[in-house]
């Protein structure tokens, strides 16, 4: 379950009334786009795709020998699986993410892996991402050299159903693939095989994850009073004059979730609107309680230029009682007999109050617990929030023209044919 707490934003209930028409129109505009050719709204339907789920299950069952899972991908092709696997790995399969191009960690990883027990999953929607292609060259070569003809069983590609280098390679070599639907962009793809395939190997409850996401869908389309995604979109919209939106998660298991959110928010919304105005707010990742001992000093006394979102679980699946230890009564006695989770909850609540008292704009999203159901709900909720904001801010939340020049310049520097000196 997901619950919104805006107790320190006193004007919010009134704003909900004032902005009702704008919000409902934004939702209508977004949904109307679904009919247009080329609309990238396929993420809305992913939670309903039980056929793909079955296919993924069958593949997982046919590969019981996998002990190490190497994921080659970057941005939307890595951040979602990384965030979810860290939270819900129940299987003991070891996951390794090559979402970088630094040689030493790749060399170190190759030294530790047994190719006979390793599955390599290259993920790229476009099939054209330099970092992923570079990693694929290395791992394909390693599999071929170590396993000879048997290498094909150890490589699975997740990519566009028709286009791109990964699709072409799969067809040439007869490799197993999973499709990222054409109308699903990278940062909206976590509930496609991009996330579901690795999570099947992690032993996560995929049905619960998708069930949670379906709940977010239901609320996204509900009347405004129940529509959590429209409500948090409004909170972001009301504070768009503040340059920073902090996303602070109080869960060690969800420590990679803020990075997933940063890509979703920044790459979707940081762009020029139709009039050429630069719009967007900068999402900043934060982790509680670790950042109470780092960023919270700035949040308390630095510039009042932020909207701060706290994501806090309400329950622990299993708490850990704090034992009494003789000799530590004076400093730690107040903790004796309490649960570790009680400390987490108290710290989140204290930070919430302290930030509000400092004059920062802050609200909390409570997760009933860190479960696949609640997190699936949260992920899909945040995708809806972002899509609604795209409409409210007059930008296309599904493209990323701003990253193209950097890619072209990289190609030019590496002498890729067709790319001149200045790209
Ligand atoms: O899945 P692909 O096509 O390799 O893209 C990886 C990432 O690169 C981008 O296209 C640009 O940063 C992201 O939108 C995407 O998530």
Q: Relative to the CA of 126, which ligand 1 atom is closest? A: 3
What percent of the chain has a predicted confidence (pLDDT) above 90? 96
**Residue 91 DSSP class:** S
> How far does the centroid of ligand 1 lie from the alpha carbon of residue 76, in Å?
6
Beta strands, E only, 180-319: 244-249, 271-272, 278-279, 282-287, 306-313
pLDDT per residue over 158-188, tens digit each?
999 999 999 999 999 999 999 999 999 999 9
Q: Supply the pLDDT for residue 422.
A: 44
> How far does the centroid of ligand 1 lie from the alpha carbon of residue 159, in Å?
11
pLDDT at 194 over 50: yes
What ipTM is given for this predicted complex?
0.96
CA atoms within 13 A on the CB side of 397: 27
Ligand 1 contacts (CB < 6 A) are: 74-77, 124-126, 129, 132, 186-187, 267, 400, 403
Q: Supply the pLDDT for residue 3.
A: 98
- Going by pLDDT thresholds of 50, 70 and 90, the confidence category of residue 423 is very low
Q: Supply the pLDDT for residue 377.
A: 98
Beta bridge partners of 118: 68
Q: Supply the pLDDT for residue 109.
A: 98
Q: Supply the pLDDT for residue 37.
A: 87
Q: Supply the pLDDT for residue 404.
A: 87
Mark whether 407 is an active-site residue: yes
Of 97, 123, 129, the one to substitute when testing ligand 1's pocket (max ligand atoms within 8 A of C-beta) is 129
pLDDT, averaged across the chain:
97
Domains (range + CATH), the chain: 2-32+207-401 (3.40.50.10490), 42-204 (3.40.50.10490)
Mean pLDDT of 201-214: 98
Q: Supply the pLDDT for residue 303.
A: 98
Please tell me the pTM assigned to this model.
Answer: 0.97
pLDDT per residue over 223-271, tens digit each?
999 999 999 999 999 999 999 999 999 999 999 999 999 999 999 999 9
In the block, residue with structure tokens 């004007």: 11
Phi, psi of 420 (to 5 degrees): -75, 180
> How far does the centroid of ligand 1 lie from the alpha carbon of residue 194, in Å?
12
pLDDT per residue over 27-70, tens digit each?
999 999 988 889 999 999 999 999 999 999 999 999 999 999 99
CA dihedral 193, 199, 204, 207 (to 10 degrees): 0
Q: Relative to the CA of 73, which ligand 1 atom is closest? A: 4
Q: Supply the pLDDT for residue 171.
A: 98
Length of the chain as a residue count: 423
pLDDT at 421 over 70: no
Q: Supply the pLDDT for residue 154.
A: 98
pLDDT at 401 over 50: yes
pLDDT per residue over 219-232, tens digit each?
999 999 999 999 99
Nearest to 382 by CA among 256, 221, 249, 213: 213
């Amino acid at each position: 379950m997901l619950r919104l707490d805006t107790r320190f934003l006193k004007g919010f209930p009134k704003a909900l009334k004032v902005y009702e028409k704008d919000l409902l129109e934004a939702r209508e505009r977004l949904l109307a786009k679904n009919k247009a050719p080329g609309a990238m709204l396929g993420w809305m339907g992913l939670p309903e795709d039980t056929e793909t789920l079955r296919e993924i299950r069958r593949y997982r069952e046919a590969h019981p020998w996998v002990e190490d899972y190497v994921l080659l991908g970057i941005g939307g092709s890595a951040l979602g699986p990384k965030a979810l696997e860290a939270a819900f790995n129940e299987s003991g399969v070891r996951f390794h993410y090559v979402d970088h191009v630094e040689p030493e960690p790749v060399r170190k990883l190759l030294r530790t892996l047994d190719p006979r027990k390793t599955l390599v999953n290259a993920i790229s929607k476009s099939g054209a991402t330099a970092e992923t292609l570079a990693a694929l060259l290395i791992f394909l070569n390693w599999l071929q050299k170590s396993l000879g003809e048997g290498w094909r069983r150890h490589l699975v590609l997740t990519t566009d159903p028709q286009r791109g280098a990964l699709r072409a390679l799969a067809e040439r070599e007869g490799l197993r693939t999973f499709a990222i639907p054409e109308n699903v962009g990278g940062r909206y793809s976590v509930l496609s095989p991009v996330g579901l395939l690795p999570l099947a190997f992690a032993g996560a409850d995929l049905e619960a994850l998708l069930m949670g996401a379906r709940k977010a869908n239901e609320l996204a389309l509900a009347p405004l009073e129940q529509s959590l995604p429209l409500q948090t979109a409004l909170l972001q919209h009301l504070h768009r004059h503040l340059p920073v939106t902090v996303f602070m998660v109080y869960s060690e298991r969800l420590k990679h979730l803020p990075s997933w959110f940063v890509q979703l928010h920044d790459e979707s919304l940081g762009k020029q609107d139709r009039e050429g105005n630069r719009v967007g707010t900068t999402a900043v990742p934060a982790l509680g309680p670790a950042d109470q001992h780092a960023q919270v000093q700035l949040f308390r006394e630095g510039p009042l230029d932020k909207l701060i979102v706290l994501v806090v679980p309400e329950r622990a699946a299993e708490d850990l009682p704090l034992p009494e230890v003789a000799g530590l009564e004076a400093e730690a006695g107040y903790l004796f007999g309490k649960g570790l989770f009680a400390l987490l909850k108290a710290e989140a609540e204290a930070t919430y109050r302290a930030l509000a008292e400092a004059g920062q704009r802050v609200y909390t999203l409570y997760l009933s617990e860190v479960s696949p159901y609640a997190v699936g709900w949260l992920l899909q909720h945040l995708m809806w929030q972002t899509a609604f904001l795209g409409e409210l801010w007059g930008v296309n939340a599904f493209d990323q023209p701003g990253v193209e020049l950097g890619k072209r310049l990289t190609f030019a520097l590496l002498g890729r044919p067709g790319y001149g000196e200045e790209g």
